[in-house]
């Protein structure tokens, strides 16, 4: 993850009024199902501190099957006690890979005050200055795309229009293979100026050659496979539902490994907005779209 837990915990405590447990309190920690149901009046948000030992495979858990175009028995970067049930089982409540679900999201739901894409569920919520997630338990970008199409589009709209400053920040959702947190999350990160400036070199006055998704060899050591398109008007956002469609189109391509697919939105140095879908074993975050 592109953050330091200690600094984020301080941010959360300051802005959400988190008060550590004191002697005499008898409230139990909030369980995963309480977070899902937003039934948080009589519990304490905690968890996400343990190094759980089981390295989880991507794709179906039992049996572990070869993933098409991915090689056999592909293991991801999640470590849980129960790989099959993600962050919705108490077995994983204290795993670091369920930290987002069990602490910052829990605190936002419990205390209010966090920026939301809508007043009504389901919605996206900005849980820290650098992270947004959903109030639904969604493990990764593939699950988001396959089972929550409207929410997938809303996330990119929320990120561009409300949760970030496109002049200085990029939006990134990493691949199912590269994530270390088992709850869908969008990084709101400082823009990678190398990528910002490089995209602007691909055209002269306007990016008319990139009206549709085009495979572009990534610049410098920034991965192996990337597909991008650009807005055709400067300082304009790209509709979230069309970004979701772009992601789906890459997921369905052959011979792309769908577990390697991530996505990012970035505004280049000529003020045109790009959506890029990555499709290799590296994250979309490190060395690509985030500084």
Tens-place pLDDT, residues 88-102: 999 999 999 999 999
pLDDT digits (tens, 9 = 90+) for 120-156: 999 999 999 999 999 999 999 999 999 999 999 999 9
- Each domain of the chain, given as residue ranges in start order, spans 5-164, 189-289
User: For the CA atoms of the chain, what is the radius of gyration?
Assistant: 19
Distance CA 171, CA 216 (A): 19
**What pLDDT does residue 152 have?**
98
Angle in degrees, CA 162, 163, 167, rounded to 5: 90
Angle in degrees, CA 257, 260, 262, rounded to 5: 130
Residue 162, Ramachandran bin (φ over 0: left; ψ between -120 and 50: alpha; else beta): alpha
Q: Does pTM top 0.75 for this prediction?
A: yes
**What pLDDT does residue 147 have?**
97
Using alpha carbons, select from 153, 173, 159, 172 the residue that is nearest to residue 241: 153
**What pLDDT does residue 14 have?**
45
**What pLDDT does residue 232 have?**
98
Using alpha carbons, select from 227, 230, 169 the residue that is nearest to residue 204: 230
The residues of the chain scoring below 70 in pLDDT are 1-26, 60-67
């Amino acid at each position: 993850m592109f953050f330091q837990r200690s600094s984020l915990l301080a941010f959360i405590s300051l802005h959400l009024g988190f008060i550590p447990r004191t002697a005499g309190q008898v409230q139990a920690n909030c369980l995963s199902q309480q977070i899902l149901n937003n039934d948080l009046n009589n519990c304490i948000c905690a968890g996400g501190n343990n190094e759980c030992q089981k390295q989880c495979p991507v794709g179906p858990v039992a049996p572990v099957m070869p993933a098409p175009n991915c090689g056999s028995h592909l293991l991801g970067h999640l470590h849980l006690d129960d790989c099959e049930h993600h962050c919705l089982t108490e077995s994983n409540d204290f795993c670091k890979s369920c930290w987002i679900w069990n602490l910052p999201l829990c605190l936002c739901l419990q205390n209010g005050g966090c920026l939301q894409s809508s007043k009504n569920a389901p919605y996206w919520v900005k849980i820290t200055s650098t992270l947004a997630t959903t109030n639904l338990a969604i493990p990764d970008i593939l699950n988001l795309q396959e089972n929550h199409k409207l929410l997938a589009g809303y996330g990119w709209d929320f990120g561009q229009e409300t949760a970030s400053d496109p002049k200085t920040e990029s939006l990134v959702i990493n691949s199912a293979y590269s994530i270390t947190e088992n709850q869908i999350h969008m990084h709101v990160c400082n823009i990678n100026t190398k990528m910002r400036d490089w995209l602007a070199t691909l055209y002269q006055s306007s990016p008319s050659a990139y009206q549709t998704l085009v495979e572009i060899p990534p610049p410098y050591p920034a991965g192996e496979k990337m597909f991008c398109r650009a807005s055709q008007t400067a300082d304009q956002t790209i509709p979230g539902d069309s970004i979701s469609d772009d992601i789906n189109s890459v997921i369905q391509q052959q011979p792309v490994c769908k577990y390697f697919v991530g996505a990012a939105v970035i505004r280049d140095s000529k003020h045109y907005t790009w959506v890029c879908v990555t499709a290799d074993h590296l994250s979309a975050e490190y060395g690509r779209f985030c500084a």
